[in-house]
Every structure is written in C-alpha cells, then in structure tokens.
Amino acid sequence: MRSTPHILVINGTKVHRPVFVLGAPHSGTELLARAIRRSPGFHLTTARPEVLRVVYAFARRPAIAGERGRGAARVLRDAYAQTWQVSARACRECPAQCRDLGGLPPVPDGAAPAADATCTDPRGIERFADASPDLLYSADVLLDAFPDARLVQVIRDGRDAVADMLDDERTLAWFQPGLANLDTVFPNAFFGVEDHTERNRWPRAAPAVKCALRWRGAVRLSAKLRLQVPGEQLFTVRYEDLVARPRRLAADLSGYLDAEISRTALGGLVRAAAGGRDGDDHGVGSWRDRLTARQAAQVEKIAGIELGRLGYRLASDS
C-alpha cells in the first residue's frame, strides 16, 4: 500500500509528479537527464549528497527501507526537500555532476564557487526531477515518498554498459575489498550476486564479471518494476532507440510526462555524445572493439539470458 500523499513545497512551488530517471550504471541515464534538465519548467538534480547518502543506504542494505516502512519514505522525501532547494548556498554545495547538468562552470581545485551562482531561476520551476546514480534500488521508496511520481528507466545493451563501467573509476571503486557487503547482505541486488557459487567466486572474479553481475541485477530489478508499477507511472527507454531516433523518443517522452521535451535539444545531445568529448568509441555496439573476446564471453555467460530477453543478439549465436 502506497503512503498517503504528502504536500512538499520547494521555493514556493508544490512538488507534483516529480520525475526520476533510473537505470543500470552507464545505461544512458545521463543523456536523458540532460534533455529533461534543459526542458522549460524542469529542475533536475543529480548526485546531491543528501540524496546519495539515503539511496546507497537503501541500495546496499534493502532491509533498512523495509524495516522503517513509511519512515523510509519520509527520510527520502526530506532529502529531496533539501536537494531541490534553489539558492546560492545550495548550489555552492552541488557536486561537479550536478553543476554540469545545470550549466554551471566547473569549480577549479581549491577554489570556492561563485557566491551568487544558481543553476536556474526558482520562479520558473514547475516540475522537479532527479537522476542520481543507482536510484533504481530505491524505486519502491520513491513511489511511497511521491505516490504521483513518474519513473523513466533506461535499458542498454549490457556489453556496452560493461565496457563503459570498466573505464569508470567510480564504478570500479565499489569492487574494492571491504566495500562488497556480501557476507552481511545476501542475496545482494546491488552487486547482482544471487547464489552461493557467485558469492564464493566474487573475491577472485574478473572486473568484467563483476560489472556483468551488476548490470544483470539492475535489469532484473527493472523487469520487476515493469510488472509492479502502473503503466502511467513508468516509461521505458531503450538506449539504442534514443540514439537512433531521438526526435521520436522526445515526442513519446513529452506525451508521457505531459511536458515538452525539446526534440532539437535531445537530438543535439545525441550528436554531441557521438562526436564530442567521449567520441564514437562509446557508441552503440562499441563493445565489439572495447571488450576482449574473453570479456565479451564472460558478460554473455553471466547475463546472456537477460541480453536475449531484451532482444540483443549474442556473439555466441553468430
């Protein structure tokens, strides 16, 4: 049973139908978040510490959310009450990821952000949104905290996602000894470890295997979400469709959110991602050049069923 509606007002604006972007690591959530952030009336945040502390507490120890019941929703709602505030003080505390999405310049090492810099005018805000990493693991709590929330989940070929994960120090940092809490939380959705064989092999597993487990665990959660959440509250985006047909995707997303998502802006973001700082090396199907044959085989062995279910052709079937 969902919690009773709670009125939350930020900077004089009532929070209604907030939008949350979910997905496995490197599934393409950031690209979609940028498009929503640039749309009129939206204030989208990401990786704000108030939210991350709560999200990772629930992700790594799901029992905490279950034990607290409606208290978990209150804790998450309170975190967003801070995160969505727009003020010079709040924006000075924004991490680099959030400042980048908001169009604020990066802060040089050792320097303080401009005292009066804010990413948006609070008077123009109509809708709130968040695309913090690993929100997927708090989806149930998000819906308890905001019963009218709109969820947007992104699905991407796990082999491309793993290739990006292997290049990301922040993602790999979770695999350091001492951070994998498999002895206290098992099965472990965050690390995607579901049976004793996987848990016993974890300490000596290759990075590609650990990344594949994380991706598999995330897409299994996404599949459960589709069964549990009403259709009017969940919109699934396939990353490959986003890249191939951004204008059509923008139109579909606009209809779902009942808000205008710029087709031109989304198309420009897709082109920039393909030819900008990340280059074409990170595009659709780039895993063929970025993963070794052994790594690709490891990913398909771990997550082949999920890849096939989602319509991705396995190299082993070629």
pLDDT confidence band for 14 (50 / 70 / 90): very high
The helix/strand/coil state of 216 is helix
Question: Can you name the residues that pair with 59 across neighbouring β-strands?
Answer: none
Overall number of domains in the chain: 1
Q: Which tens digit of pLDDT belongs to each residue from 226-253?
A: 999 999 999 999 999 999 999 999 999 9
Percent of the chain residues past pLDDT 90, beyond the cut: 73
Mean per-residue pLDDT of the chain: 89
Is residue 83 a part of any domain in this protein? yes
Tokens of 137: 């693991």
Residue 313, token pair as written in the block: 């052709």
Report how far residue 145's alpha carbon sits from residue 3's, in angstroms, rounded to the nearest whole number: 7
Task: Say how far apart CA 212 and CA 201 lie, in whole Å.
Answer: 14
Do you find a cis peptide bond into 133, omega within 30 degrees of 0? no
Residue 272 within a domain: yes
Q: Is residue 4 part of a domain?
A: no
**Exposure string for 108-137, b = 16+ CB within 10 A, e = fewer:** eeeeebeeeebbbeeeebebbbbbbbbbbb
- The residue with tokens 């280059």 is 279
With respect to residue 240, please indicate whether it lies within any of the assigned structural domains. Answer: yes
Q: Quick check: 136 and 221 in contact, CB under 8 A?
A: yes
317 inside domain: no
Q: Strand pairing of 127-130 and 42-45?
A: parallel
Rg of the chain over CA atoms, in angstroms? 19
b vs e for 47-76, b when ≥16 Cβ sit within 10 Å of the residue's Cβ? bbebbbebbbbbbbbbebbeeeeeebbbbb
List C-alpha distances in Å: 194 to 2, 185, 198, 199, 213. 28, 10, 7, 8, 9
What is the DSSP pairing of strand 150-155 with strand 9-10?
Answer: unpaired
Residue 314 φ/ψ, nearest 5 degrees = -85, 140
Give the domain extent around 130. Answer: 9-311
Residue 287 placed within a domain:
yes
DSSP lists the bridge partners of residue 42 as 127
Asked whether residue 68 is domain-assigned, the answer is yes
pTM of the complete model: 0.92
25 part of a folded domain: yes
Does residue 25 contact residue 133 with C-beta atoms inside 8 Å? yes
pLDDT reported for residue 295: 98
201 alpha carbon, distance to own chain's centre: 27
CATH number at residue 250: 3.40.50.300
227: CB partners within 8 A, 6+ apart: none
Q: What is the total residue count of the chain?
A: 318
Residue 315: pLDDT above 90?
no
User: Which stretch of 224-228, 269-273, 276-280 has the lowest confidence by average pLDDT?
Assistant: 276-280
Per-residue pLDDT tens over the stretch 187-219: 999 999 999 999 999 999 999 999 999 999 999
